[in-house]
Amino acid sequence: MFEEVDASVVCKQLGLSRFGPTIKPHYLLSTYNGPSDVLMDSVECSGSEQRLIDCDNRNSTNIPCDHGEDVAVSCLQRRCVEHDIRLANGSAFEGRVEMCLEEVWTTICLESWNILNSRVLCRQLGYRSEGANTPANIPGPISMPIYSKQFHCSGHERRLFDCEKSGPSPPLCNHNHDLTIQCNSTRTSLFYSSSISSFSLSPSPS
């Protein structure tokens, strides 16, 4: 049976998001201009493959299928810049943290989160790191993916995704444990020097 993990590889190969693919039987399509032969059967992907042909499958000229068993896949468009951060359901400096992964917005699990992570996150958003905290949770939509790893920031990283990561997430990670952040409302100008791996912070011009 062709499953969602198999469809995710198709979407990835097409340069689209691997999250949230929809599998449709071929008869739902209005036209079919493909080859006359069925080329693959019993496809089993792990999700790490870059191309569908890299997945385990039965690939021969004697596949016992016809086009009545063809599948079609609907993929989501990429809608954001990789590893960007935004705050939802709050203000410019407070809200549920959402991160762009493969151009789909995901939430981040609060479990194992710490103050160093918060400081890096707030600086990435353009706010001073002092006083960053995690207020009451604002659950994300049930359909939104949850990032499956934990962050371990030293406090000097340029962006949250530059921090060391480990995974998978603890068992409690669900939308009732989505990360919500409150940053210092003072805006900053951020200058990063890769040669010394440090930050210089100065107030933004008024």
**pLDDT by residue (tens digit) across 71-93?**
889 998 777 888 999 999 999 99
Query: What pLDDT shows up at residue 192?
Result: 39
Does residue 168 lie in a domain region?
Answer: yes
Q: Which residues pair with 189 in a beta bridge?
A: 202
Give the model confidence (pLDDT) of 143-166 as tens digits. Answer: 899 997 899 999 999 999 999 998
Domain that holds residue 94: 85-203
Q: Find the angle CA(71)-CA(75)-CA(78) to the nearest 5 degrees.
A: 165
Highest mean pLDDT among 30-44, 52-66, 103-117: 103-117
Q: Looking at 41-50, 86-95, 126-135, 186-195, which range is the least confident one?
A: 186-195
Query: Is residue 128's pLDDT more than 50?
Result: yes
My answer on whether 193 and 107 are in the same domain is yes
Q: What is the 3-state secondary structure (H, E, C) of the chain?
A: CCCHHHHHHHHHHCCCCCCCCEEEEHHHCCCCCCCCCCCCEEEECCCCCCCHHHCEEECCCCCCCCHHHCEEEECCCCCCCCCCEEEECCCCCEEEEEEEECCEEEEEECCCCCHHHHHHHHHHCCECCCCCECCCCCCCCCCCCEECCEEECCCCCCCHHHCEEECCCCCCCCHHHECEEECCCCEEEEEEECCCCEEEEEECCC
> Domain total for the chain?
2
Q: Are residues 160 and 66 in the same domain?
A: no
Last residue of a domain, one of 74, 97, 124: 74
Same domain, 157 and 96: yes
Is residue 122 situated within a structural domain?
A: yes
Same-domain status, 61 and 133: no
